[in-house]
Amino acid sequence: MDAFASVTELSIALADKKISSRELTDLYLDRITKIDPSLNSHLTVAADSARVAADAIDARRATGEKLHALAGIPFGVKDAITTAGVRATGAAKILDNYIPTHDATVIARLRAAGGVMIGKHNCDTFGHGASNENSMYGPANNPWDVSRVAGGSSGGSGAAVAAGLQPYAIGEDTGGSVRAPAAFCGVSGLKVSYGRNSRFGAMPMASSLDTVGVFGQTVADIALVMQTIAGHDPLDPTSAVAPVPNYTHALEKTVQGLRIGVPAEFFSDDLDPAIRASVESALEVFQNAGAQLIPVTLPHIQYAIATYYILVPCEDSSNMARYDGIRYGVRASRPDLFETYAASRTEGLPNEVKRRIMIGTFALSHGYYEAYYLRAQKARTLICQDFANAFEKVDVMISPTMPEIAFKKGEKTTDPLKMYLADVFTGSASLAGLSALSVPCGFSQNMPIGMQIIAPRLAEDIALHAGHIYQKNSDWHTRHPAV
Ligand code: GLN
């Protein structure tokens, strides 16, 4: 079986008994053993429990039972998402030995469908970063060029899917963490709108922006996975009480009349020429297929990064307070309790987390709250309104996913502001709680380029439809790195 086969192809092969789930699981586990030492995309490989799950599915299939489309198909998960019985560190030493007793809701839904969880993916610690270099277990490397970053924060997930170590993966996106690795590694990645997928079991970073999303080889595969995991969850009070559309049906709608917004602000003069050329030719593909291109403006988008990097640290500084080093992970022994907390947090959390705790605490403190947090909230409202106005005229909006191709490791690690600017195209959709999909749309210097398709809140079906149209009319998503 081709390790880059789509979920649909794997599903058919399993149903036709051309391959068993056990054989498929072993195929991916072997690839992890051979390929992952150069990628560092996995923090934990759940080989034993995966084989048990695969055998159980094979036994059920042997009885003639009709199984779910995802049954017996392996997948991987960002390590900041809990998996019952399998270590979940969030790439932080402070949770180094944490073995959750419960599955995140999306994982529980995949397991109930017969999905086989085979590995936990490297990421920036608790999602803090855009390159995976803020992992306390070393960076995940880009399978197209291991001297370059995989993107972050769900870098291991992007690298693993791109390298054919799993057919799909579950990641998390607060400001670009699914889209950036998808773009840098040349796979498809969906950031769902706020509330679409349950966040129960996802380690929080910025609770008003965090979302759980999907990586796949194709948009059609993402649709299939979304059908299984999306929808209200009583365990997550922020999950939307809204019907889940039929995503696979949505893919097959006609492209005629699809209105694509092209925001002027996302195609400014300083945009990298190779990225501009790729995204502009993708826009032509849409036009030739029958879609309509409409210029739009998002006048407040210029404040998105500044707004994001106030609000996220504010929420973050409170979310990070839970890690005390007492029960799990690194625990520094000191004569008194306060010093024990302080020393454990010093050793167990990386610099970027500490930086955000300090920025957030400062921005929320008396005398500064109005100047920073309150103003950032107002700017967020203006950004939301910009999108709402534009979505009166268009169905989706298109931009580059990232301002550049995957950069060399170490290039931005000494300058946090440079790293923050990597989110220039992704952060705004997160502030507005929208759906946003990244699909491969070209190459520059042999590295993949990603295009972002933004759709309204809870309109993942529209983003997936547009992405699928593009993939029917292009072949960038069919190229794989030589690993
Ligand atoms: N790069 C962004 C940040 O560091 C996005 C992170 C994410 O989406 N988890 O905040």
Q: What is the SS3 assignment for the chain?
A: CCCCCCHHHHHHHHHCCCCCHHHHHHHHHHHHHHHHHHHCCEEEECHHHHHHHHHHHHHHHHCCCCCCCCCCCEEEEECCECECCECCCCCCHHHCCCCCCCCCHHHHHHHHCCCEEEEEECCCHHHCCCCCCCCCCCCCEECCEEEEECCCCCHHHHHHHHCCCCCEEEEEECCCCCHHHHHHHCCEEEECCCCCCCCCCECCCCCCCCEEEEEECCHHHHHHHHHHHCCCCCCCCCCCCCCCCCHHHHHCCCCCCCEEEEEHHHHCCCCCHHHHHHHHHHHHHHHHHCCEEEEECCCCHHHHHHHHHHHHHHHHHHHHHHCCCCCCCCCCCCCCHHHHHHHHHHHHCCHHHHHHHHHHHHHHCCCCCHHHHHHHHHHHHHHHHHHHHHCCCCCEEEEECCCCCCCECCCCCCCHHHHHHCCCCCHHHHHCCCEEEEEEEEEECCEEEEEEEEECCCCHHHHHHHHHHHHHCCCHHHCCCCC
Please pick, among 21, 78, 193, 239, the residue that the annotation labels catalytic: 78
Quick one: which of 468, 481, 473, 476 has its CA closest to 221?
Answer: 468
Using the mean position of ligand 1's atoms as its centre, give its distance from the Cα of residue 311 in Å.
12
The pTM score is 0.98
Using the mean position of ligand 1's atoms as its centre, give its distance from the Cα of residue 422 in Å.
9
For the beta carbon of residue 369, count every other beta carbon within 10 angstroms.
13
- Closest ligand 1 atom to residue 130 Cα is 1
Whole-angstrom distance, CA of residue 371 vs CA of residue 241: 35
Question: 383 to each of 178, 374, 433, 461, how far by Cα in Å?
Answer: 21, 14, 11, 23
Quick one: which of 103, 52, 110, 51 has its CA closest to 81?
Answer: 103
Please pick, among 20, 154, 177, 239, the residue that the annotation labels catalytic: 177
Render pLDDT for 3-30 as a digit per residue (tens, 0 to 9): 999 999 999 999 999 999 999 999 999 9
Which of 131, 149, 157, 174 gets mutated to test ligand 1 (max ligand atoms within 8 A of its CB)? 174
Give residue 342's pLDDT. 95
Question: 312 to each of 95, 149, 262, how far by Cα in Å?
Answer: 21, 23, 27
Report the pLDDT averaged over residues 54-75: 98
Using the mean position of ligand 1's atoms as its centre, give its distance from the Cα of residue 177 in Å.
5
Using the mean position of ligand 1's atoms as its centre, give its distance from the Cα of residue 305 in Å.
11
Please pick, among 11, 153, 157, 278, the residue that the annotation labels catalytic: 153
Render pLDDT for 402-434 as a digit per residue (tens, 0 to 9): 999 999 999 999 999 999 999 999 999 999 999
Which of 312, 319, 430 gets mutated to test ligand 1 (max ligand atoms within 8 A of its CB)? 312
Report the pLDDT averaged over residues 373-384: 98
Give residue 262's pLDDT. 98
Render pLDDT for 202-234 as a digit per residue (tens, 0 to 9): 999 999 999 999 999 999 999 999 999 999 999
Tell me which residue has its CA closest to atom 5 in ligand 1. Answer: 175
- Closest ligand 1 atom to residue 134 Cα is 4
Which of 205, 315, 352 gets mutated to test ligand 1 (max ligand atoms within 8 A of its CB)? 205
Using the mean position of ligand 1's atoms as its centre, give its distance from the Cα of residue 131 in Å.
9
Q: Tell me if residue 474 is catalytic.
A: no
Give residue 415's pLDDT. 96
Q: Would strands 292-296 and 211-216 be described as parallel, antiparallel, or unpaired?
A: unpaired
Is 182 within 8 Å of 188 (Cβ atoms)?
A: yes
Quick one: which of 119, 5, 16, 15 has its CA closest to 70?
Answer: 15
Q: Would strands 74-78 and 168-173 be described as parallel, antiparallel, or unpaired?
A: parallel
Whole-angstrom distance, CA of residue 140 vs CA of residue 43: 10
Confidence of residue 450 (pLDDT cuts 50, 70, 90): very high
Whole-angstrom distance, CA of residue 430 vs CA of residue 434: 6
Report the pLDDT averaged over residues 471-478: 98
Give residue 358's pLDDT. 97
Return phi, psi of residue 216, to 5°.
-150, 170
Q: Tell me if residue 333 is catalytic.
A: no
Report the pLDDT averaged over residues 317-325: 95
Report the pLDDT averaged over residues 270-278: 97
Mean pLDDT of the chain: 97
Whole-angstrom distance, CA of residue 107 vs CA of residue 75: 10
Q: Is the peptide bond before 474 cis (omega within 30 degrees of 0)?
A: no
Residue with tokens 């403190």: 365
Whole-angstrom distance, CA of residue 429 vs CA of residue 55: 41
Give residue 10's pLDDT. 98
Q: Tell me if residue 38 is catalytic.
A: no
Per-residue tokens: 148: 């370059």
Give residue 52's pLDDT. 98
Confidence of residue 330 (pLDDT cuts 50, 70, 90): confident
Give residue 187's pLDDT. 98
CA dihedral for 299, 302, 305, 309, sign (positive or negative): negative
Pocket of ligand 1 (CB under 6 A): 127-130, 153, 173-177, 205, 312, 423
Cα angle 460-206-41, degrees, rounded to a multiple of 5: 75
Tell me which residue has its CA closest to atom 4 in ligand 1. Answer: 129
Whole-angstrom distance, CA of residue 79 vs CA of residue 245: 28
Which of 78, 177, 179, 359 gets mutated to test ligand 1 (max ligand atoms within 8 A of its CB)? 177
Confidence of residue 335 (pLDDT cuts 50, 70, 90): very high
Using the mean position of ligand 1's atoms as its centre, give its distance from the Cα of residue 194 in Å.
15
- Closest ligand 1 atom to residue 430 Cα is 8
Residue with tokens 């990628």: 39
Is 114 within 8 Å of 70 (Cβ atoms)?
A: yes
Domains and CATH numbers, the chain: 7-257 (3.90.1300.10)
Using the mean position of ligand 1's atoms as its centre, give its distance from the Cα of residue 178 in Å.
9
Render pLDDT for 116-174 as a digit per residue (tens, 0 to 9): 999 999 999 999 999 999 999 999 999 999 999 999 999 999 999 999 999 999 999 99
